[in-house]
A and B are shown apart, each in its own frame.
Chain A
């Protein structure tokens, strides 16, 4: 089938090239040095640490706020138009990101951003003198949340919808409090979905390149994808071994993530319908 030939040519074989390249030395033989560099070379180790830190923070915060917003939008009493507005917006915003998103935040909280100047004029505080910068770790995290929260809302809304009203009614008829309902029914049912969604958010942020590149000009923050991009600039690897080690490490992290994600997804779908 032409489909499998295509997938092999443009996905499988190029991916294998990177994987094999990670175990090749400059003279063509095989070696474990490149992989060892992931743990031993300080700049590579540091990049992984920064990437994991940002991904973990934005996955947890994005997961938390996304869950709260999805619940607030779906729960009984919230007008229908609010709910559909949030649904539609999340569908779009989860697909923002990249260069335009980075610039929207530069226009907001950059050195001459609208909000930066507003704070300066109203409160007389220059946030850039108080340790904030849009190209710092904090800044990048704030921008990533702009696509992480909507993604969480999109992924978790069907699971919240799946909590049946009968369950809450039955538990309150049996004398359970709201807390007991969430502790023994709501949370156990939702938990696999929430954990799965947070893992998805982690990978989403870990693999992101364009947004961080545009915010930091590729220099201010050493993230794994940024280093790979810098190594590759000019179309050839300036330092092929570092690039391969980084790509291999990324592949391992994202692969491990998928190994956790797939069984969780299966478990979460048990309560659907």
Chain B
């Protein structure tokens, strides 16, 4: 008996095509918009891209955001990897506590977090100016919290898929120090999870507007908003570049995940 190859259901075709139209039209419209001449609005020229690429503010803000992203990733991983390792190894009772803490940022979204941070550090602690005025201190401090749930869920899945106890005992019995164990035995085994968390953090920080704008810092998203308000066609070009950054970060997650044969679940961010 030969099985008939199942055919696609007609209603599925209708829904999938409608969905594709809704998702693709805004991207296409932005592309067409970006190809209009920056001064006359006539099609087609690359001048809008030229305006953005020749704007020193574009380069300076994208550099700031990228630096903040790297700092957030380094601090986030340094903070979370040993903690989650230790919890899996010695304190499994604490796992629900950390899991609960990872849900708190959903109840305290960026708009409330920025209010709390400004009040806490300004009015309660009277933090010195050098702390409040430095994006690398104030913003990275907040971004590590924003990234925490995503890095945590990614790492937690990574740690659950390996045998932490056996690996640790083997390394310790062979005379490895704690640092060697963590750095040369555990870390290579959770590399995919750590990289996924890192790329997701990159996408979050490169797109974060709420906290940066309300605490008066100049990052790539605040630059984007400034261009949106002032120059329509170059704004389309900058928007596409920003989409490109998100795409690259998210596709990198898929690529490292595929190579490591492991998938992580992601949930929306950065609105």
Contacts and interface: CB of A to CB of B under 8 A. Distances in A.
Q: Bound pair: A and B?
A: yes
Interface of A: 1-3, 6-7, 9-18, 21, 65, 68-69, 71-73, 75-79, 82, 86, 88-89, 91-108, 112-115, 145-147, 149-151, 154-155, 158, 200, 203-204, 207-211, 213-214, 217, 225, 228-229, 232-233, 235, 243, 247, 250-251, 254-255, 257-258, 262
B26 A107 contact: yes
A204 B271 contact: yes
B187 interface: no
B124 interface: yes
B220 to A, nearest CB: 9
Contacts of B221: 98-99, 210
Chief secondary structure at chain A's binding surface = helix
B215 A95 contact: no
B142 A15 contact: no
Interface string B89-121: 000000000100101111111111111111111
Most chain B beta carbons < 10 A, residue from A3, A9, A76: A3
B210 interface: yes
A68 B144 CA distance: 35
Contact of B266 (A71, A91, A106, A250): A91
A78 B8 contact: yes
B104 A14 contact: no
A97 to B, nearest CB: 4
Interface of B: 6-9, 11-12, 15-16, 19, 22-23, 25-30, 32-33, 79-80, 83, 86, 98, 101, 103-121, 124, 141-142, 144-145, 148, 200, 203-204, 207-210, 213-216, 221, 224-225, 228-229, 232, 235-236, 239, 242-243, 246-247, 250-251, 253-254, 265-271
Contacts of A3: 79-80, 83, 98
A18 B105 contact: no
A112 B9 CA distance: 38
Nearest to A243: B115
Contacts of A208: 271
B6 A104 contact: no
Contact of A105 (B15, B26, B98): B26
Nearest to A224: B111
Most chain A beta carbons < 10 A, residue from B108, B203, B267: B108
A95 B246 contact: yes
B29 A78 contact: no
